[in-house]
């Protein structure tokens, strides 16, 4: 069984994240969506809220089994914990690549049996970043092009 881990904070989950999830699901038998507990990022949504949003938004994925898995340890340890052979990462721009390049190198030094696969963001989704979506929502902008209606409702409710 091919198990892939797609990690992130998903605060909130965007259409860009969902695009990567749907595409990754075609590559593996089980897709584990690792929801990071990253206290330094000070998420707007609590862990359980983010987990539930992702469960709701991925319920229609049928290409593989999808599991939503919160984690607070090292990414490579999470990958081991869930039995992942591959870590799936989305890339939007060159700046993403520089960060991801360093992370892959460190992860390979810790466990070279786990590969990392990069999926380029769909051209229509490359500019979407959770932090920017939150800022647009805070300033009463239209976020409908960046998140699903359910996530938009939760986000607007949170910022107002």
Active site residues: 17, 41, 92, 130
Report d(CA 33, CA 80) in Å as an integer.
Answer: 14
DSSP tag of 102: H
The 3-state secondary structure of 104-119, one letter per residue: HHHHHHHCCCCEEEEE
Report d(CA 47, CA 51) in Å as an integer.
Answer: 6
Report d(CA 124, CA 101) in Å as an integer.
Answer: 24
Phi, psi values for residue 95, rounded to 5°:
-60, -35
What DSSP letter does each residue of 14-76 carry, written as one string? -HHHHHHHHHHHTT-SEEEEEEE--GGG--SS-HHHHHHHHHHHHTT--SSEEEEEEE-S-HH
């Amino acid at each position: 069984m091919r198990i892939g881990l797609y990690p992130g904070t998903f605060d909130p989950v965007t259409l860009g994240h969902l695009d990567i999830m749907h595409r990754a699901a075609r590559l593996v038998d089980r897709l584990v969506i690792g929801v990071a507990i990253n206290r330094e990022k000070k998420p707007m949504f609590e862990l359980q809220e983010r987990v539930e949003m992702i469960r709701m938004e991925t319920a229609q994925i049928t290409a593989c089994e999808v599991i939503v898995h919160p984690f607070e340890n090292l990414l490579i340890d999470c990958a081991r914990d869930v039995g992942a052979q591959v870590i799936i990462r989305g890339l939007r721009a060159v700046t993403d690549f520089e960060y991801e390049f360093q992370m892959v190198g460190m992860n390979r030094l810790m466990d070279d049996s786990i590969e990392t696969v990069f999926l380029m963001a769909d051209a229509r989704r490359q500019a979407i970043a959770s932090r920017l979506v939150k800022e647009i929502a805070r300033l009463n902008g239209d976020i409908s092009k960046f998140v699903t209606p359910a996530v938009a409702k939760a986000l607007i409710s949170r910022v107002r």
